[in-house]
Structure 1
Amino acid sequence: MKYWLFLMIAIVSEVIATSALKASAGFTRLLPSVIVVVGYAISFYAMSLALEAIPVGIAYAIWSGIGIILITAIAWMLYGQELDLWAIIGIGFIIIGVVILNALSKVEV
């Protein structure tokens, strides 16, 4: 169970870092730039711990899938990014893929 917690920490810290990346304005603003560097460092460290027990393909699929969903939601709320129907459908497929991996996959964890 702790490895799944490490994966969630990796996802959340990566999402925070990626969200701050836009605010860093090409690393010209100090605080957002620090958040980016620290967030990615935490993310990769937590991911390395998660990979001690979770298969890399499964972990990466979940990490990237949930990350895409969260980043898209944050971009919509903070930066006014609008989504068209195809973007919503595509994100829906990502959600379905993550659910299938977690609920139906027989890959050993």
Structure 2
Amino acid sequence: MKLSQGFSKILPSILIFVFYAVSFFLFTLALKGMDVSIAYAVWAGLGTALITIIGILWFREPVNSVKMISLFIVVVGLIGLNLSDRIT
């Protein structure tokens, strides 16, 4: 979204909608084999983690210990949710 500059650049603007459509399509496929709570948490958590990493690497956003610890907690939470599905 940042690259579209408020939808004023055409190619990044189109790609936003293409990638959102692909994301929702893949999410519906994932729902066939996962509980909705787990699937949504993974989708949201991994999206947050990936966007954070992209922001750090691509947009040169500042990195600090709080950001990295928080990112680690998100990933650990996702692992815990996936493992909880196997413990019954």
Q: TM-score, normalised by structure 2?
A: 0.89
Partner-residue secondary structure (3-state), 1:28: coil
Alignment of 1:60-99 (within 5 A): 60-99=40-79
What is the CA–CA distance in structure 2 between the aligned matches of 1:106 and 1:99, rounded to whole Å? 10
Unaligned stretches of 5+ residues in structure 1:
1-20
Shift of 1:84: 2.0
Alignment of 1:10-49 (within 5 A): 21-49=1-29
Unaligned stretches of 5+ residues in structure 2:
none
Larger radius of gyration: 2
What is the CA–CA distance in structure 1 between the aligned matches of 2:2 and 2:57, rounded to whole Å? 14
In structure 1, the partner of 2:37 is 57
Change (3 A) 1:48 1:106: closer
Q: Which runs of 4+ in 1 moved over 4 A?
A: none
**RMSD across aligned C-alpha pairs, in angstroms?**
1.6
What is the CA–CA distance in structure 2 between the aligned matches of 1:97 and 1:32, rounded to whole Å? 32
Q: TM-score, normalised by structure 1?
A: 0.73
Comparing both chains, which one has the higher relative contact order based on Cα–Cα distances under 8 Å and sequence gaps of 6 or more? 1
Confirm or deny that 1:106 pairs with 2:85: yes
What is the CA–CA distance in structure 1 between the aligned matches of 2:63 and 2:33, rounded to whole Å? 36
Q: Which amino acid aligns with 2:72?
A: G
